[in-house]
Structure formats: C-alpha cells, structure tokens
Amino acid sequence: MKNETDQSLDPQDWESMRQLGHQMIDDLIDYWKGIRDEKIWKPIPQEVKKALETSIPENGEDPKKVYEDFMQNVFPYNKGNVHPRFFAWIQGTGTPLGTFADLLASGMNPNTTIGEHSAMYVDRQVVNWCKELMGFPVDASGILVSGGSMANITALAVARNSHGEGNIREKGLVGNGENLLLYCSTETHSCIQKAAEILGLGTDSVRMIPVNANFEMKVNLLEEQIQVDFDAGLSPFAIVGTAGTVNTGAIDPLDELLEIAKKYNLWFHVDGAYGALARLDPIYASRLVALEEADSVAFDLHKWLYVPYEVGCTLIRNAKKHRDAFAMTPNYLLQEMRGLSGGPDPISHYGFELSRGFKALKIWMSLKEHGWKKYAQMIAQNNRQAEYLGRLVDSHAQLELMAPVSMSITCFRMVQQGMSEKEIRDLNREILVRIQEEGIASPSSTILNGKYTLRVANVNQRTRFEDMNILVDEVLRIGNEIL
C-alpha cells in the first residue's frame, strides 16, 4: 500500500544490492587471504587525489558504480595495518569475524545508549569481560569509547570531579579555585596532556617527571615534586602511570606509584592503552599486577585484542564516582519500567556521548570466536617477536638497539662508523621512507634522548617470526644502497 509519492532510500532492486554485498565479502576475503603477498603501501597517484576533491554530487548513481569508484580510488591505497609487516604507530590488524561483526552492528544500527534492547546487554557483558581481563572487581564500572584518548580523558574527568569536596562538576574549576596538578612521566602519551587541556586544567597542570634509562618514571623525583607542590599550596590530584609507553613499551613502576598515590590520597590512573593487556603474557604479568588496584585504567581493544577500529575501554573502580561525574536525565530521556523505554541504566551516565554505535559486538564475537587464552598466546607471540627482532639487531654490526625491548616495541637504527648524528638521522629517515615506498614493511620513527630511531611496534596478529628477518634484511639492503 505504498503511496505513489512515498520516497525512501532503500534500493529499487534488493537482489542487485544483495549481489553487491556478496561481491564486497568476496573482495575482502580475497584481500585478507592474499595480503602477505601484496605491497603494504602504495603511493596515491595525483589523479586519484584529484578524484577525491570533487564537490558534493547533486544526483545519485548506481550503487555498483559507487563501489567501482571505491575499488578504484580508495581500496588500493589503504593504510596497511592489515598487513603482516605493519609496525607503525601502534595500530592493530583487525580480524575477518571482527569486521563481519561491524557489518552486523551497522545493519542493526542501534544507538547503544538507552532503552531495552539486546545491544545494551551485549555492551554490558563486554564491559564485564573487560573488568575480568583487567582483574577489576565486578562492582567496578566501565564504558566502551573510541580509543585510548577518549578512555584516558573519561577517567581523568572522573578523577577531577571526584577531587576534594566533589563540587567541580557544579561550580567549575574557577569556582573550586584550587590549582589542580597531575603527574606523569616525560614518556607519557600526548593524550594525557591533551586531556588536561580539554578538562580546563591546562598544559601547566601536567607535571612531567623524568625517566630512567629504561624510560620508566623516576619514583623518587615524583615524590619530591608532589611534596614541593603541596608545600607551595597547589593541589596534586592524580598520578598517571603508563603500562606500555608509546615510544618504547616501557612500564612505569606501577606498584610504587600506587603506594605514593595512597600515601598522598591521589587518584591513581593507569594509561594501558597499548600495554595493559600484556598482563595476559606471563612474562609481563607480575609487573602489571598493581593495575588491578588502580582507581581507573584505560586500554584499547583495537590494539591488542586485534578488533577493527575503533574501540577502547575505561574502567573505574568506584562506580558511584563514575556515575556522579556524568549522569543527567533530561525530560526526553525518561525511562519506563516496560517496553523500549525501559532497560538498563543509560550508558550516557558514564561518559561524554549520547550517540553510541554497537561497537561492543565485535569484541563479543571475537572473544567468543577465540577465547581469552588464544589472545594471551597472540600477545605473548608479539612480545617474543619483538625480543627476537632485538636479538637480530644485536647480531648485526650495522644495527644499533636504541632502547631495551619492552613488550612488543623494538627501537633500532642503522649506523656506520664515523657518521655524525645528523647523517645517521638522514640515513634512517630515508630507510624508513624507502621501505614503505617499496611496499615491504611499515615501521615508524621516533626520537629517544634526542636521537632519531626506527620504531617497530607490533600488535599484529598476522606477523610471523620470519617477518622480522625480512625487515632486518631489507633495512640493511636499503641502507647499504643509500650509503
């Protein structure tokens, strides 16, 4: 009984749309299956960039044609973190079923914030699983967010609002009047500083404590600084320990930080965006045990749980403090006891967002597909691969290890006797660019103690030990070609 004039965006031809979906599945399966033999990265031709600069189309075109455009201009020039030799930044691989879960989540299309529907319960179960993974108590609270930056700022917002008499949410920072300070190391991820800035504390509120030769926070300097600040009438409120720094995978001495936080009654937050899940690797478990006692922890699922982008998690030990930081109930979100308008406590009471997709589903399906034990093996494998790479580096006179291998990060560079620091830098920058341009591997770079270094961060479920041999051989080949 469709009216002549009724319009919709649904396809005229459902069968054709179904076939297009099958085609996409086939193309993705072929892509993943053959990825090892493909170049990891290709330069984007000028004409492709040009095609991605056109104005908004006035009229539509056949979905098949849209897909052709995608296959021509978008798909071939992918970032590459699906490839077994992607080691840049810290970006996970994804898995086929994780991707299919995103398809299903998008197809169901629930806003997973409020109401009585299955996504709310899957989300809750996944947050509970996250507590289990981190050894957090069952009565802790948590929320899935886009990633580490949002996970950290969410936790620090709770920490800030829980400070003192807890009047900051209402009165604001100026109304409260204290000079709040948070402590982290110089190796802490930049998102902690960004969080402090966004939360209104300002760059100046972040005390960056120097690190030792292993890039771990110097605890004695931390305590000295806290005392100096208290004596100056300032208000320390939080310590941020890092479980796996982005530069070198270093782990701050979490147990000592926890002690200091308790001693001075400060919030203890752990940024485990990259490394918290390493607690599943027996080699690292003991150094991460204090994480279980933290007031809050942030970690990513698209790194070491290898689910597709984007999803991270914040856990807060004290659920009431968590809820008190964010909960509000406007008239248009009134809940009922029955029907769609019933359901669990709205998730918006625990974070910034009212619009939330069903990102829990890919974690739910992935953990059911593999079980936590398999993830423990995979994480341990990445760590062992990094150590293996470290040994390869050590065995070559032309290569130099730039930091102790910690977790799955190996920093090294090529050197030759008599080269200046600038010449070494130029050499390794050129190696970095060429090994990407040739499509072989994608490490990234950083600067440690003022020295430029290649950086291999491995949260890749497709990497094999042989890939580390390939990487080293190719770095040496390219480097010697340049020389």
Please, which of residues 96-125 interact with a copy of itself by CB under 8 A?
A: 96-100, 102-112, 114-119, 121-122, 124-125
Closest contact distance (angstroms) between CB of 279 and a copy of itself is 14
200-229: which residues touch a copy of itself (CB under 8 A)?
Answer: 200-205
CB closer to a copy of itself, 75 vs 230:
75
170 is a site residue for a copy of itself (CB under 8 A): yes
| Cα dihedral 56/58/62/67 (nearest 10) | 0
242 is a site residue for a copy of itself (CB under 8 A): no
7-26: which residues touch a copy of itself (CB under 8 A)?
Answer: 7-11, 14, 17-18, 20-22, 24-26
- d(CA 85, CA 165) in angstroms, rounded, equals 51
Closest contact distance (angstroms) between CB of 430 and a copy of itself is 9
What is the residue whose two structure tokens read 């970095």? 432
422 is a site residue for a copy of itself (CB under 8 A): no
CB closer to a copy of itself, 263 vs 344:
344
Which is it for strands 409-414 and 451-457: parallel, antiparallel or unpaired? antiparallel
- d(CA 368, CA 278) in angstroms, rounded, equals 20
Closest contact distance (angstroms) between CB of 219 and a copy of itself is 23
Give the interface segment with a copy of itself, choosing from 64-72, 209-217, 262-270, 287-295 (CB under 8 A): 64-72
CB closer to a copy of itself, 119 vs 260:
119
- d(CA 91, CA 312) in angstroms, rounded, equals 12
Dihedral sign computed on CA atoms, order 165, 255, 222, 454: negative
Closest contact distance (angstroms) between CB of 247 and a copy of itself is 6
Tokens of 425: 């830098």
What single-letter DSSP state applies at residue 44?
A: P
251-280: which residues touch a copy of itself (CB under 8 A)?
Answer: none
CB closer to a copy of itself, 265 vs 355:
355
CB closer to a copy of itself, 20 vs 289:
20
Chosen residue from 218, 396, 434, 477 binding a copy of itself by CB under 8 A: 434
Binding mask 359-378 for a copy of itself (x = CB under 8 A): --xx--x-xxxxxxxx--xx
Closest contact distance (angstroms) between CB of 125 and a copy of itself is 5
Closest contact distance (angstroms) between CB of 462 and a copy of itself is 6
SS3 of 384-432: the string is HHHHHHHHHHHCCCCEEECCCCECCEEEEEECCCCCCHHHHHHHHHHHH
49 is a site residue for a copy of itself (CB under 8 A): yes
186 is a site residue for a copy of itself (CB under 8 A): no
- d(CA 335, CA 345) in angstroms, rounded, equals 9
Beta-strand runs (E) in 46-165: 86-87, 141-145
Kindly report the number of other CB atoms within 10 A of residue 371's CB atom. Answer: 10
Which is it for strands 409-414 and 399-401: parallel, antiparallel or unpaired? antiparallel
Of the candidates 138, 142, 135, the residue with the CA atom closest to the CA atom of residue 292: 135
Closest contact distance (angstroms) between CB of 119 and a copy of itself is 7
247 is a site residue for a copy of itself (CB under 8 A): yes
Asked whether 384 and 146 are in contact (CB, 8 A), the reply is no
How far, CA to CA in Å, does 434 sit from each of 75, 143, 398, 427? 22, 41, 18, 11
CB closer to a copy of itself, 107 vs 418:
107
CB closer to a copy of itself, 264 vs 372:
372
Chosen residue from 216, 223, 252, 300 binding a copy of itself by CB under 8 A: 300
Give kind and range of the element (H or E) at residue 16.
helix 14-33
